[in-house]
Amino acid sequence: MSLTTISRHTGSTAADRSRQRVLRNTYGLLALSLVPTVLGAWIGVNTGITAALSGGVGALVFLAGAFGFIFAIERTKHSATGVAVLLAFTFFMGLMLSRLLAAVLGLNNGAQLVMTAFGGTAGVFFVMANLASIVKRDLDGLAKWLFFGAIVLLIGGLINIFVGSTALMAAISVMAIGIFSAFLLVDLKRIIDGGETNYITATLALYLSLFNIFQSLLALLGIFGGERD
């Protein structure tokens, strides 16, 4: 075996170990991020602390908080501080989710709908994770179109704050499930291929997709499957 072959084999092995480490750390941090999310949602539902955040005020608080945290995570992603900031962000997202959760839990079958949305989100993640390990094609080009779709969703969501259309909310939710499921596939594929080397950034990307899928599923289930008195 030549020195060149040995060098290539060693480099390939090191790259494989690096990819596995990033993937393992990402999955671990993603699982951990669910704890502050659930805690934030529980506090929000039981205290009603976010009940007053409706309409434009709620949207402003959410956007300012979310983008502020994302900026802070990107600035600290190369240190242990990044993990703490990410977990604080997931707590904030749990708080923001609590208004929708409280509304769904107020339905006769609310707890069942929440569990169904959680199971559906887990199912989407399982499918996308398996697809990402099978698909050989590079998907980075798809990410640009998905980003454009996410902007359209954001604009549509802001418009619906003032319109208050149930039909538009349902349409946006369906689109969000499709777009963020595809985002999951793209991001998981990038991590598996070694294109993402920072597990905090990787966790943030996966968390945002899962959060939006869960929220959209919950909204759809509340609209079409909610049992009222």
Give the CA distances from residue 149 to residues 20, 116, 143, 165, in Å, rounded to whole numbers and listed in that order: 31, 26, 10, 20
Question: What is the rounded average pLDDT of the residues 176-203?
Answer: 92
DSSP code for 229 = -
pLDDT tens, position by position, 130-184: 998 888 887 777 888 898 999 999 899 888 888 888 899 999 999 999 999 999 9
Question: What is the rounded average pLDDT of the residues 64-81?
Answer: 94
Contact 125, 210 (CB under 8 A): yes
The CA distance from 153 to 144, in Å, is 14
The CA distance from 102 to 41, in Å, is 9
| Residue 47, pLDDT above cutoff 80 | yes
Res 4: pLDDT: 52
Q: How many domains does the chain have?
A: 1
Residue 55's pLDDT band, with cuts at 50, 70 and 90, is low
Q: Which amino acid is at 171?
A: A
Give me the helix-helix angle, 140-163 and 166-193, nearest 10°: 160
Res 37: pLDDT: 97
Question: What is the rounded average pLDDT of the residues 173-200?
Answer: 92
Residue 60's pLDDT band, with cuts at 50, 70 and 90, is confident
For residue 194, the SS3 value is coil
The CA distance from 47 to 23, in Å, is 36
Q: Quote the domain boundaries for residue 172.
A: 3-225
Contact 206, 184 (CB under 8 A): yes
Give me the helix-helix angle, 199-225 and 3-47, nearest 10°: 40
The CA distance from 59 to 74, in Å, is 22
Q: Which amino acid is at 64?
A: A
